[in-house]
Every structure is written in C-alpha cells, then in structure tokens.
Structure 1
Amino acid sequence: MKTAGGTDAAKRRAGERAAEEVDNGDVVGLGTGSTTAYAIDAIGEAVSDGLEVQGIPTSFQSRQRALEASIPLTDLDAVETVDLAIDGADQVVDDPDASGYGALIKGGGAAHTREKLVDAAAERFVVVADPSKLADRLERSVPVEVIPDAHTVVADRVQDLGGEPTLRDAEHKDGPIVTDNGNLVLDCAFGPISDPNELATQLSRIPGVLEHGLFVDCADVTYVGLEEGVETRVY
C-alpha cells in the first residue's frame, strides 16, 4: 500500500469528504472497508465535538470501528429511515457512456448482503473510493453469498451464465470463508461485464443465492480521493 501522498492518503480524503455530509440527528449507514473506515473515524471525531448521530454498521468490522470511535449504534429495524449510507467499493464504472455508469462491485469483505440492505434503505448513498477502483466497465469477480447447502447448485448455474465460480477460502484457517450471516461466498469471474443490470437480475434469480455484489442504480455520488483533493461523480 502506498503511504502518505499515495493510496492511503487518497482513501482518507474520500472518507473525510463523505463524513462532511452527515448532519446532526442523522441515521448513518456505516459501510465496510479501509476507505469507509476513515469516514467512520471522521464521524467519531464530530461526535466527540457534539454531533448527534446514530450509526448502523454493515459488518462486525464496521461495528468494531464505530464502537472505537464512540458512535452510538442502532439497527435497521429500529429506525424509520436511514438518512445517509457511506460505503466503499471494489470497482466502480467511471465511464459516463458505459452501460451501468456508477454501478459497483462490492463484497471483498464478504459483507455485501447487509451493505446492500442498508445502502438501499438510505435516502442518499455515498460511495468512497481511490482512483484504483475506477474502471471503464466492471470486470472483477462478483461475490455471491450462498446458502451452504446450495453452493454446488449455484456454482453450476453461474457456469451456465458464463461465469467461473470459486469458493472463497479463509486465509487464517482451513475451510471456506463464512459470512456474518453464516453463509458461504462464491467469487464468480465473468470477465468484462457489458450489462451489469442484466447480470444482477440473472444472479438474483438463482435459488440458493442470498445476495450478490453487483450494486446497480443505487449510488447517488462517488467521492474519489486523489493525491491532492477529491473528485466528485454525481449519478
């Protein structure tokens, strides 16, 4: 990872810019990932200065970060509305002329199911990213959360759609990654995705799929942190 002036600094700028959107009294969705972590830290600093907010974490990781930042937490089913969600992305379509401009691939942290629930519930969904996440079209593997008993059936269906599914393994123990929901993750490589919306629809139709990492037509803005300043993409 690049240090000051590079990727890490760019992530910080994007996260802190997104945190500026939080108003007093807001309910805020707190996404997962290294860039969103900077937003959580910035919100925590504002809370210590008197800002009143409630955060809804999207994973164990973001919950722990929010607790360390002393952000009061709540649950999605305990609020009437989510005013703002801040989340990162593994890849963002950055070509205004491409199909799916602003579409995302998420799920590198295997938290995309709860992230999608919270992001979709928000009045405004803000994405934070560094330039390495921008692409003319989506081409990273799409994480698909599956019920354990269905993972082989889902893998076969993904192959029928032209994808190459790989069961995601844990890094520090034997066996597969298990999500916060108790499920498994298939990383499904489709190559360049010409129509993210159509692929999202096809994946959602597969029995045994809880959720996939294609986020289409849901982001309102992306803040891209640079070596100097932040660029804004409005959708």
Structure 2
Amino acid sequence: MKTEGGPEAAKRRAGERAIETIEDGFVVGLGTGSTTAHAIRAIGRAVDDGLEIRGIPTSFQSRQLALEVGIPLTDLDAVDVVDLAIDGADQVLDDPDAATHGALIKGGGAAHAREKLVDTAADRFVVVADPSKLTDRLERPVPVEVLPDAHAVVAERVRTFGGEPTLRDAERKDGPVVTDNGNLVLDCGFGAIDDPDALATRLSRLPGVVEHGLFVGQADATYVGSDGGVEVRRY
C-alpha cells in the first residue's frame, strides 16, 4: 500500500498522534493553525465516537472549526483546570544542548496572546509540527501584539535593542491586521536569536505590549510528523 506523503500528511500525522492521550472528562486547549486543525478534526471524530471532552478555542478560527466538527466548548474562566493544550508553532528550537531547547516562535496567525494564555494554563502543553518548523536557532520575526495607540512607541523601543519592527498588513483589506482582541501586530525581526529567554523578558517589559510570540520553557513535548511517522521530543 502506498504511504501518503508530503507536508500535509506530516501535519496530519502529528495532529492525530497528539490527541492519543486525551481521556474522557478532559478540558483541551485548541490552538490555531493548519497543523492544529488536523488535531481538532481528529478530536471531533473521537467525540463522534463517544469521547466526552470540552474544548477551549484560542481564536475565532479554532472556535469555528471546533463547532463544525462537533466539539463542545467552554471558556477558561469556567473551568478549574485545562488538562491538555495542543498548538502549532512557526519555529521550534530543536537543540538538546541549548538551555532553551523546545522554545517556540508563534503568532503567524496573530492568535499568540490567547494561545499563550491557554497553553500556559494547561497541565500539559504539546506542540504539533512538521520537520520544516524545526531549527537549531530561532530566527523568524517575533510577532508582538500591541495596543493600537502604542504601536509607534513600541516599534521605536524595539529598534533601540536591535529589532526591525513591521506593522503587519491585512492581505484582503486595506490597513493592518487586527487581532481577535482588537489590537495590532508588529513583526519584529532580530535575526538569529541567541538568547530567547532574555529577549522574551525584554519584550514583556515594554509598556503597550499585550503579548509576544516567544514561548520559552512552556512546551512539554513536540510531536513531529513526517513521511515515516511521528517522532516525539520531550522537554
């Protein structure tokens, strides 16, 4: 039998493998993005087969998909615990010798503020990815969600410590991207990030920053899908 290959197959394998630890009664954080969408669809099929769980979506996109596949939803303030959060990433630091092994850059979908809120509230947070997301050094621009009135001030502060901020433009409308929280996003390029933890702290201290896309020391594992199956990296 021919093995299904390609990036989408790798993403699907990662998403489907990550849901295997879900049990009846779990509250599950539902991340945002194409790889996480495969996990959400797999959870929907499990719900159809009798699994009893509640999901907490991290974006309008994940909420709509969860409703489409029949996952009962709840809110973070309505539960005592989030048992598991499943989310994707734009980059995953894959260097076991690094102090920040497993650090992430997220926010390509501009949902990183809600994602971080749910992911860090969870007892266990797992990332789903294909091999293209793995890197030995984080280097993608870091998305920074900012209050609309603060975007120019935050951009100037970012420049003072070597960043190149770009206000993210919407693709099919005039003007900038507006997050689900009503804020703007600065994509801040720093080149290769030698110390993700220090940069995360520095960005968090800037007045006007709602949240940034550096997730350091927060993921418990990454499920990496490939043509040959799924490899699990635990942190």
Distance 2:22 2:192 in 1: 35
Match of 2:180 in 1: 180
Distance 1:69 1:85 in 2: 18
What is the DSSP-based 3-state SS (H/G/I as helix, E as strand, rest coil) of the residue aligned with 1:233? strand
Alignment check: 8 A CA contact 1:28 1:84 kept: yes
C-alpha distance after superposition, 1:58-106 (max 9, x if no partner): 0000000100110000000000000000000000000111241100000
Distance 1:101 1:158 in 2: 25
Distance 2:49 2:60 in 1: 25
Distance 2:38 2:220 in 1: 20
Note the aligned Cα RMSD (angstroms).
0.6
What is the DSSP-based 3-state SS (H/G/I as helix, E as strand, rest coil) of the residue aligned with 2:9? helix
Match of 1:31 in 2: 31
Distance 1:75 1:62 in 2: 13
Match of 1:144 in 2: 144
Alignment check: 8 A CA contact 1:99 1:194 kept: no
1:111 maps to 2:91: no
Letter in 2 for 1:184: L
TM-superposed deviation, 1:232: 0.7
What is the DSSP-based 3-state SS (H/G/I as helix, E as strand, rest coil) of the residue aligned with 1:159? helix
Match of 2:62 in 1: 62
Alignment check: 8 A CA contact 1:90 1:133 kept: yes
Distance 1:23 1:158 in 2: 43
Match of 1:233 in 2: 233
User: How many residue pairs align between the two structures?
Assistant: 232
In the alignment, structure 2 segments of 5+ residues that lack a partner are: none
Distance 1:22 1:158 in 2: 40
C-alpha distance after superposition, 1:104-159 (max 9, x if no partner): 00000000000000000000001000000000010000000000000000000100
What is the DSSP-based 3-state SS (H/G/I as helix, E as strand, rest coil) of the residue aligned with 2:102? coil
What is the DSSP-based 3-state SS (H/G/I as helix, E as strand, rest coil) of the residue aligned with 1:127? strand
Distance 2:23 2:221 in 1: 17
Match of 2:166 in 1: 166
Match of 1:49 in 2: 49
What is the DSSP-based 3-state SS (H/G/I as helix, E as strand, rest coil) of the residue aligned with 1:20? helix
The structure 1 segments of at least 4 consecutive aligned residues displaced by more than 3 Å after TM superposition are: none
Distance 2:62 2:18 in 1: 16
Match of 1:98 in 2: 98
In the alignment, structure 1 segments of 5+ residues that lack a partner are: none
What is the DSSP-based 3-state SS (H/G/I as helix, E as strand, rest coil) of the residue aligned with 2:187? strand
Distance 1:195 1:111 in 2: 23
Match of 1:9 in 2: 9
